[in-house]
Amino acid sequence: MKAWQEIQLQALQTSDSEHKLFQTIAALGTELGFDYCAYGLRLALPLSNPKIVKKSNYPTAWQAQYQTKNYCAIDPTVKHALRSPQPILWTDGLFASTAAFWEEARSFGLRYGWAQSMRDVHGATGMLTLARSDEPLSETELAAKAFKMAWLAQNAHIALSRRLLPKLLPEADTKLSNREIAVLRWTADGKTSGEIASIMKITERTVNFHISNAATKLNAANKTSAAVKAAMLGFL
Instruction: State in angstroms the smallest separation of the CB of 171 from DNA.
Output: 16
Name which of 114, 138, 118, 151 is nearest 34 in CA terms.
Answer: 114
**Residue 151 binds a copy of itself (CB under 8 A):** yes
Q: Would you say 118 and 161 are in contact if contact means Cβ atoms under 8 Å apart?
A: no
Buried b (16+ CB within 10 A) or exposed e, 171-190: bbebebeebbebbbbbbbee
* Contact characters 197-236, a copy of itself, x per CB under 8 A: -----------------------xxxxxxxxx--xx-x-x
Instruction: Give which of DNA, a copy of itself, none residue 42 binds (C-beta under 5 to 8 Å, depending on kind).
Output: none
Q: Would you say 147 and 155 are in contact if contact means Cβ atoms under 8 Å apart?
A: no
Taking the C-alpha atoms of residue 78 and residue 233, their distance in angstroms, rounded to an integer, is 22
**Residue 191 binds a copy of itself (CB under 8 A):** yes
Instruction: Give which of DNA, a copy of itself, none residue 146 binds (C-beta under 5 to 8 Å, depending on kind).
Output: a copy of itself
Instruction: State in angstroms the smallest separation of the CB of 236 from DNA.
Output: 14
Q: Would you say 199 and 64 are in contact if contact means Cβ atoms under 8 Å apart?
A: no
Binding site for a copy of itself (CB under 8 A): 5, 8, 44-48, 82-86, 118-121, 143, 146-148, 150-151, 154-155, 157-158, 185-192, 220-228, 231-232, 234, 236
